[in-house]
Each structure stands twice: as C-alpha cells, then as structure tokens.
Amino acid sequence: MVPVAYVDSDGIERSCTIGREPVLVGREPGSAIQSNDPLVSRRHALLYVDPSGMLFVEDLGSANGVFVGPNRVKVAPIPMGAVVVIGSLRFRRLAAAPGSSQPPAPVQDVLARRPTHAVLVPPPAATAAPMPGADVHAMLVHLLEVERGVRLAVEQERDAYGARLAELHRELDAARTKIAELEGELAKRRG
C-alpha cells in the first residue's frame, strides 16, 4: 500500500492509498479518483502497486496525457519525489508509515525486470543528457497553477456573461409584455 496526495483543479489536496488493485482516475462516475475538470479524460489513467511494491501509473489513451516529472509516459514507475500530472490532477507519492511495508525496489531494478513496460529507458551512458532538476518541476507546477487561475477567471467571466444575458432576456420579455398590454389598452380606447 502506497499513500499518495493529489490536488484537483479546485486546489484542495486529498490523499488516498494505492494497492495492487488498480485505481481508476478520470471523469467517469465509477472512478476511484474522480475529477470534473475537462482536462481529465473519462477513463484517464490507472495507478497501482506491482508485486515488488513499486507504484506505477498507466495512461489509458487519454487526450492530455500522463506526465512523470517532465516526461509524457504510457506506463511508468513513480519514484519518490516525482510530480505526476494526470490531465490537470497533480499527484505526489507520500512516505509510507514506518514499518507498514517493505521499501520498494529501486526504479532501475523494476525497469530491468519489466522492460516491456519501461517508457523512461535511459539513453546509453555516452549520450546521456542531464535530467532536469527540481527547478523544472517547480516551474511546471507553477505554470499549471497559473493556467488554472487563468481558466478559472475565464470561467467566471463566462458565467457572468451568461447571467447578464439571461437578465437582458428577462427584461426584454417584460418589455414585450408591457408593450402588448399598452397596445391592448390603446386598442380598447380606439374601439
């Protein structure tokens, strides 16, 4: 069992525990982790713990993808400290309670045992590029927060526009009713 914390577009941090039984993340009503955010697909991703105790994420063919750190992945282990983005949900792995389970196997060992699932295969040592540091992850998280703020402002503006439009339609209907009443009175006076 691996505890994780996640933040949805509402900005509230929640937590859950992931085990060997896959946890569905998506907008679908039956999802264990459900989001109403349009950046999250109906059946976006699965989170699960493999027999060695390593936490994995699997993209289910989503439109906006799954990212472990700066890398878009299909299936990948989630190392401690990595920021995982599923649509607009941000996940981070929490430290397990002391003595609750065996420590997970190192990522390299898991990847060596499961080469068909390895998406983040490191390049040969001679051509290895330096991995982005925590500053890149912090920047990505910041950019996601800024984007959420912008989207929230646009949604609020859209809602205000819709409310004003509805108000104008009510005023127009009231004016039409008043005109009809006045025309009726005028017709009675003439007739």
Q: What pLDDT, in 10s, does the model give residues 28-76?
A: 999 999 998 888 999 999 999 988 889 999 999 998 889 988 888 999 9
Half-sphere exposure of 55 (CA within 13 A, CB side): 25
The domain limits of the chain are 2-126, 132-191
d(CA 80, CA 152): 31
The class of domain 2-126 in CATH terms is mainly beta
Query: pTM of the prediction?
Result: 0.53
Burial of 161 (0-12, 13-18, 19+ CB in 10 A): exposed
Q: What pLDDT, in 10s, does the model give residues 122-150?
A: 545 554 444 545 556 666 776 777 778 77
Q: Which residues of 44-63 are buried (b: 16+ CB within 10 A; e: fewer)?
A: bbbbbbbeebbbbbbbeebe
